[in-house]
Amino acid sequence: MTSLVRSNPLRCSFHRIGKLTIPTITICRQYTNMNRDISPPPAKRHRTSSQTARPPQTLSANPPPVLPRIQANTLRIFSWNVNGIGPFVQMSITSFFQGSKKEGFLHRHEWPAILFLQEVKIAASDVKTQDAVKAAVNARLPSESDADTNGPLYDVHFTLPNDPLNARGLRGSGKIYGMCCIVRRNLASEYDVQVRTVDWDQEGRISVVEATPKSTKSSKLVVFNVYAVNGTDNPYRDSATDAIKATRHDRKLAFHRLLMQKCKTLEEEGWDVLLAGDMNVAPSALDGYPKLRTVPVQHARNRVRWAITCSTTECTAPPNARTPQIAHLKFQPIQPPTIDIFTGIFSVGFVLHYRVY
């Protein structure tokens, strides 16, 4: 009987954020006959003639379409769950591939004001990886070296887990969850920008960017970068006593409540509030394929309570939203103040255009 073993060659294409290389990988399934006779390698390497030699093949990047130019009174904000940033800052393999012939990601997208990353999975003690991310973000491609294309610098802020009981990571490494806020440095000419976290989360799930305008034309803006709790039946422990307080489902609901209380307090203080990131809920059928909206039942309960707690309406995604893309959701402040949310599970991420005045 013939034995077949499946092999999975990878086809990779890359686009770049500074020197952060972002791969898109396609697995092509093939089958190899393992019962055939295997010949030993030749004793001497044969020279290949120049007529028959094949030129080396390179895999070129196919960057996504360039976003439209934004107006001067608009902030462009990206949000993306990277599910581990480590592979994106490894430089060795990228040197074997031909990079994009077009400008880098940040340049192509008009140097966004803020880029939010969730689940960077960096231990708080891993300063080396944090420094590598900072260096990669501000590195420039050769096509960006002249005065016309050399864009602004960015400041990189991390919020990493500090809860060894509830955010252990693999074998207690601490490489789990974690947030990164990449903020364009020249925003300081128009805003006083502060990046912080909250005192009721130690799992590295929330970063808060406060932008106080230096002119009276704009309102105060606070943007939350959120990786919300994913509810399970696993225990949630008291970080001080190690006692089991509740389940992760219970912690998820408490997280929603505390987040909304904070947002409403900020609104009462005159801030425009924006939530961005991965909320770990399934507000529409696209988010819960095939059964996440109904099985287990606790996910359905969490979704209903999230909608009630946040008092928001659903945002409709494009018809082909299951394909890798950047979804465009546009918000502008309205009266009375409301909490705007942009979030989702798309493969690439979200971009938001926020009109500041």
Q: Looking at the domain assignment, is residue 18 inside a domain? A: no
Backbone angles phi, psi at 329, to 5 degrees: -120, 120
Q: Looking at the domain assignment, is residue 37 inside a domain? A: no
Task: Name which of 27-36, 40-49, 65-74 the model is least confident about.
Answer: 27-36
For the cut 90, the answer to whether the pLDDT of residue 94 exceeds it is: no
First-residue to last-residue Cα distance in the chain = 72
Q: Looking at the domain assignment, is residue 3 inside a domain? A: no
Q: Looking at the domain assignment, is residue 44 inside a domain? A: no
What was the pLDDT predicted at 202?
A: 95
Q: Measured between alpha carbons, how far is 154 from 187 in angstroms, rounded to an integer? A: 10
Q: Measured between alpha carbons, how far is 81 from 348 in angstroms, rounded to an integer? A: 8
Q: Are the C-beta atoms of 251 and 236 separated by less than 8 Å?
A: yes
Q: Beta partners for 181?
A: 116, 157
Task: Say if residue 278 carries a ligand binding annotation.
Answer: yes
300: confidence class by pLDDT, cuts 50, 70, 90:
low
Q: Looking at the domain assignment, is residue 9 inside a domain? A: no
Mean pLDDT of 218-233: 91
104: confidence class by pLDDT, cuts 50, 70, 90:
low
237: confidence class by pLDDT, cuts 50, 70, 90:
very high
**Structurally, how many domains does the chain consist of?**
1
Q: Looking at the domain assignment, is residue 83 inside a domain? A: yes
Summarize pLDDT for 242-270 with one digit per residue, the tens. 999 999 989 998 999 999 999 999 999 99
What was the pLDDT predicted at 217?
A: 78
What was the pLDDT predicted at 109?
A: 74
Summarize pLDDT for 181-223 with one digit per residue, the tens. 999 999 999 999 999 999 999 999 999 999 999 988 788 999 9
Mean pLDDT of 143-147: 62
350: confidence class by pLDDT, cuts 50, 70, 90:
low
Please give the model's pTM, rounded to 2 decimal places: 0.69
Report the interhelical angle of 297-310 vs 248-268 (nearest 10°).
10
Summarize pLDDT for 131-142 with one digit per residue, the tens. 999 988 888 766
Task: Say if residue 166 carries a ligand binding annotation.
Answer: no
For the cut 50, the answer to whether the pLDDT of residue 326 exceeds it is: no
What was the pLDDT predicted at 10?
A: 34
What was the pLDDT predicted at 328?
A: 33
What was the pLDDT predicted at 146?
A: 63
Q: Which of 77, 181, 204 is nearest to 133 (CA)?
A: 181
Q: Looking at the domain assignment, is residue 15 inside a domain? A: no
58: confidence class by pLDDT, cuts 50, 70, 90:
very low
Backbone angles phi, psi at 140, to 5 degrees: -115, 140
Task: Say if residue 81 carries a ligand binding annotation.
Answer: yes
Q: Looking at the domain assignment, is residue 293 inside a domain? A: yes
**CA angle, 237 then 242 then 243, to 5°:** 70
Task: Say if residue 280 carries a ligand binding annotation.
Answer: yes
| Domain, as residue range, for 94 | 74-315+327-355
Percent of the chain surpassing pLDDT 70:
53
- Supply the mean pLDDT for the chain: 71
CATH of the domain at 226: 3.60.10
